[in-house]
Structure 1
Amino acid sequence: MSTSGQPQFRYTQTPSKVLHLRNLPWECTEEELVDFCRPFGKIVNTKCNVGANRNQAFVEYADLNQAIQMVTYFASSSDPAQVRGKTVYIQYSNRHEIVNNKGPGDVPGNVLLVTIEGVEAGDVSIDVIHLVFSAFGFVHKIATFEKAAGFQALIQYSDTTTAASAREALDARSIPRYLLPEHVNSSHLRISYSAHTDLNIKFQSHRSRDYTNPYLPVNPTAIEGFVQPMVGPDGKKVEAESNVLLASIENMQYAVTVDVLYTVFCAFGTIQKIAIFEKNGGTQALIQYPDVGTATVAKGALEGHCIYEGGYCIQ
């Protein structure tokens, strides 16, 4: 173990003649990298200055046994692998060769096209996708959809370097098992670059998110827990208790914004989500609390009251 607590080697990976080196000095040159690796065999290809901090590299040996020899040597050595005094972390790459020629989908860009194999659309939530990919940098936007290739997602970063770092680390890997439903056995990621540079997200929803625009309207279907009214034996609607309130806004004298509704409803508890939409010629909103009790208190206190004197009412 290193002083940082990170294992210098990962033993769970399948051996490959391509090695992935991390924590290199950012000024490390290709010549230095080759000199460091040459004692263990013939180097046939390299890829330097990879990752957001340009401190990672890939080295391809002519023979698998040469790569195994290097990993085995440093794994059993009392001295860590070092370049310019920095401890270098070595692992087998999930690739078996370094491909430098760029075909369709290999031209670097800031938007990744991710195909998630082995899952249906409802198996992987957009929040899970965001959690996995935000580990490599700020994710600006995500759009998910279904194509003949399967369940896919477009993930937009601020720049090509961050996108490349995420692709190098995650391509051909799997989403962690604990983030998936029990019935999903595997979820391999196949990642290429998209020709898009800026995704057009019109609504926040369970299929699309824009993390740069907090004022973007929320599609009502994105609010979990919203239940259609039940009908009783007498044919009248029976209101079921829910952690989501449906507010009808009448006598509008001022524009309704998410901020205004948040200010009013947050006095009674944590607000998880707010959606404003037009229905039957009127303005309505969905306000989601973490539990039914909080929603019930807010409903009892606010129903029928005005937000502003002479302004609009919430029923």
Structure 2
Amino acid sequence: MSSSSGQQQFRYTQTPSKVLHLRNLPWECAEEELVELCKPFGKIVNTKSNVGANRNQAFVEFADLNQAISMVSYYASSSDPAQVRGKTVYIQYSNRQEIVNNKSPGDVAGNVLLVTIEGVEAGDVSIDVIHLVFSAFGFVHKIATFEKAAGFQALIQYTDAATASAAREALDGRSIPRYLLPDHVAMCHLRISFSAHTDLNIKFQSHRSRDYTNPYLPVNPSAIEGTLQTVVGPDGKKKEPESNVLLASIENMQYAVTVDVLHTVFSAFGMVQKIAIFEKNGGMQALIQYPDLTTAAVAKEALEGHCIYDGGYCT
């Protein structure tokens, strides 16, 4: 098994089709070159070449299903890979049963997928679950989720169209694994097409949008889910409510305090889930979210009044 296990893992569970999807072709590969590669296995009735943003993918349709199966089986077991102009070509079954040459916008391969998640409400599938499922195929740059009349949708941005196509081929029509879903969701299907977007504009890290390429992007304070309610103690005085989210004010700022610095300081007590930094009344404040109250309480007790740097700086 090679390092491309992300591409491999669905290869053998795909439904055979007389249309094959070829990836990693030389740029502007000619139709004749495709025919040359495929004709030893049977009669080719249609091709669609130069697909995808890098124009390095193609579809080939055989006259008969068994011809397509024989080509896939041959290269799956052969020690020599399929090659065009010395480049290794990856071959898998298409999720289409025939090539339709009038392209609809959702069929023009791009690096951003539009995913409709059927059978769920917006809160049922977290952005982390979406990230986990789609990361199996390559580095996910950005995700934005939203609710439309069509249902709960997500835009998922990859580096290139080849990666996006591989994810679409493997996941379109499938379900998110059961163990990643809340108990009340029976089934959810993914319907995937290509988006016309090429670069998503993500302004905040939040429970609705993420940019995995930019660790310095601010966290939207509303994305920190602490429930704050007023608690009255036995003496009738207002007690500060306990929460898994700490509000830290940082005084005597002689040095810059970044998200990374705070992460280092607060991670000593447990896993930090989220950090948001903002200015208030000319001073700097931060929200730090832990998984539970206990960890937050321990961190608060230990760090209250302490300095990040020697000499009393950044208290």
Under TM normalisation by the shorter chain, which class is it?
0.7 to 0.9
Deviation (angstroms), 1:151 = 1.3
Distance 2:177 2:101 in 1: 29
Deviation (angstroms), 1:247 = 1.5
Contact 1:9–1:89 under 8 Å retained in 2? no
**Structure 2 partner of 1:125:** 126
Distance 1:105 1:304 in 2: 56
**Structure 1 partner of 2:69:** 71
Identity %: 77
Distance 1:8 1:145 in 2: 28
**Structure 2 partner of 1:151:** 152
SS at match of 1:140: strand
* Residue 301 of structure 2 is aligned to residue 300 of structure 1: yes
Deviation (angstroms), 1:99 = 3.0
Distance 1:250 1:39 in 2: 75
Distance 1:236 1:111 in 2: 54
**Structure 1 partner of 2:208:** 207
2:228 maps to amino acid: Q
1:125 maps to amino acid: S
Contact 1:174–1:187 under 8 Å retained in 2? yes
Q: Structure 1 length as normaliser, TM-score?
A: 0.73
Distance 1:92 1:109 in 2: 19
Alignment RMSD: 4.3
Contact 1:175–1:189 under 8 Å retained in 2? yes
Distance 1:190 1:179 in 2: 18
Deviation (angstroms), 1:102 = 3.0
Change (3 A) 1:111 1:236: farther
**Structure 1 partner of 2:46:** 45
Distance 1:264 1:7 in 2: 40
Deviation (angstroms), 1:208 = 0.8
Contact 2:51–2:109 under 8 Å retained in 1? no
Matches of residues 136-285 of structure 1 in structure 2 within 5 Å?
136-224=137-225, 226-232=226-232, 236-278=237-279, 283-285=284-286
Contact 1:273–1:289 under 8 Å retained in 2? yes
Contact 1:8–1:89 under 8 Å retained in 2? no
Contact 1:15–1:68 under 8 Å retained in 2? no
Deviation (angstroms), 1:228 = 1.0
Deviation (angstroms), 1:207 = 0.6
Distance 2:123 2:10 in 1: 37
1:110-161: per-residue Cα shift (whole Å, max 9, x none)? 3222222222211221112212222222221111111112111122223333
2:149 maps to amino acid: A
1:156-184: per-residue Cα shift (whole Å, max 9, x none)? 22333333333333333332333222332
Distance 1:103 1:51 in 2: 14
1:129 maps to amino acid: I
Change (3 A) 1:69 1:298: same
Change (3 A) 1:50 1:73: closer
Change (3 A) 1:19 1:278: same
Change (3 A) 1:56 1:141: same
Contact 1:113–1:155 under 8 Å retained in 2? yes
1:170-201: per-residue Cα shift (whole Å, max 9, x none)? 33333233322233233332333333332221
Change (3 A) 1:259 1:191: same
**Structure 1 partner of 2:60:** 59
Matches of residues 82-101 of structure 1 in structure 2 within 5 Å?
83=82, 92-101=93-102
Consecutive unaligned residues in structure 2, runs of 5 or more: none
2:164 maps to amino acid: A
Change (3 A) 1:95 1:188: farther
Contact 2:41–2:71 under 8 Å retained in 1? no
SS at match of 2:128: helix
SS at match of 2:106: coil
Change (3 A) 1:60 1:52: same
Change (3 A) 1:276 1:9: closer
1:83-115: per-residue Cα shift (whole Å, max 9, x none)? 57xx99976532222234333334443322222
Deviation (angstroms), 1:211 = 1.0
1:14-38: per-residue Cα shift (whole Å, max 9, x none)? 554434578x997998657656765
1:301 maps to amino acid: A
1:203-246: per-residue Cα shift (whole Å, max 9, x none)? 1111111111111111233335x231342366644445444322
Change (3 A) 1:43 1:176: farther
Distance 2:216 2:114 in 1: 26
Contact 2:220–2:276 under 8 Å retained in 1? yes
